[in-house]
Amino acid sequence: MTKVRPATPADAPWVDALARAEGLSVELTAELERPQARAWVIDPEIGFLTAWLVADELQIQDLSVRASERRRGHGRRLLSAAELSARAEGATSITLELREGNHGALALYLAAGFEQVGSRPRYYDNGETALLLTRVLKGAPVP
């Protein structure tokens, strides 16, 4: 049975390897040293989500699931864990940016209730546009 849990430095080797395979620049050990950083993983070595809690906003930095494990609800489960934790810490919204051509991720976020609130044309080195997404967390934070 897969389990979502907070990431620890012991997860760094596989998280960093998965990130590199996906073209991401995550260094989990360094990330976990940041006071604003939050991270979750799905065991056994299926996927991860990193985020920063800044004031009342959770900013998703990276979310990745092994290609062989995609479309099985793992990304949604990681988002749910992040939301639950963010609410408990008083967050009122979750934000992120992603490449316009990342259709799988966009579908995941839209299905999870995110809305596109802007874009950054030619933001990435290859000229691709960044889409800005947000989700307002309705209701009072979990105590």
**pLDDT at 140 exceeding the cut of 50:** no
Residues 6 or more apart in contact with residue 21 via CB below 8 angstroms: none
For residue 1, the model assigns a pLDDT of 62
Share of the chain above pLDDT 90, in %: 83
| CATH number of the domain enclosing 49 | 3.40.630.30
For residue 143, the model assigns a pLDDT of 47
Which domain, by its residues, includes 24? 3-136
**What is the spatial distance between Cα 117 and Cα 102, in angstroms, rounded to a whole number?**
17
Per-residue pLDDT tens for 14-61?
Answer: 999 999 998 888 899 999 999 999 999 998 899 999 999 999 999 999
143 located within any domain:
no
Per-residue pLDDT tens for 79-117?
Answer: 999 999 999 999 999 999 999 999 999 999 999 999 999
16 located within any domain:
yes
Q: How many domains in the chain? A: 1
38 located within any domain:
yes
17 located within any domain:
yes
141 located within any domain:
no
Work out the pLDDT band at 129, boundaries 50, 70, 90: very high
Do 66 and 18 contact (CB within 8 A), yes or no?
Answer: yes
Instruction: Record the pTM.
Output: 0.90
**What is the spatial distance between Cα 124 and Cα 122, in angstroms, rounded to a whole number?**
6
